[in-house]
Amino acid sequence: MPKFKAEATELIATDGIEALVVYLIDHPGAGDVIPGSGGVRKLRWAAKGKGKRGGARIIYLYVVIAARVYLIRWYAKNVKTDLTADEKKQLRQIAAHLKGAQ
């Protein structure tokens, strides 16, 4: 997850990433499923100096059978408001790969 780590460290402190992981362990179905993404979800999360609403967006996949959460993307809302059709296609491919790896 090198891309996720690079994006996350720009937006939040290390303890914030740990808090996110703990939150997703307790609430793996949090956030909204992104239509056309193969089950990938988007979650609002507070970023440095911002609340949830204007903060970051976490893109992740929860695989029920394996009870695993895969962190895929992290971006600031003020930088990117929504995912493109091409990005959703890429997420579908990633989701299919991760689900098949179980």
Q: Residue 50 carries which side chain, given as an amino acid letter?
A: K
**What percent of the chain lies above the pLDDT cut of 70?**
83
pTM, two decimal places: 0.69
The per-residue pLDDT for range 3-14, each reduced to its tens digit, is 767 777 777 766
Among the residues of 1-102, which ranges form H helices?
A: 2-11, 14-26, 85-100
pLDDT at 26: 92
What whole-number distance in Å separates Cα of residue 13 and Cα of residue 11? 7
The per-residue pLDDT for range 65-84, each reduced to its tens digit, is 777 888 888 888 887 778 89
What are the residue boundaries of the structural domains of the chain, listed by start?
2-100
Tokens 């579908």 map to which residue? 92
Contact present, 50 and 79 (Cβ < 8 Å) = no
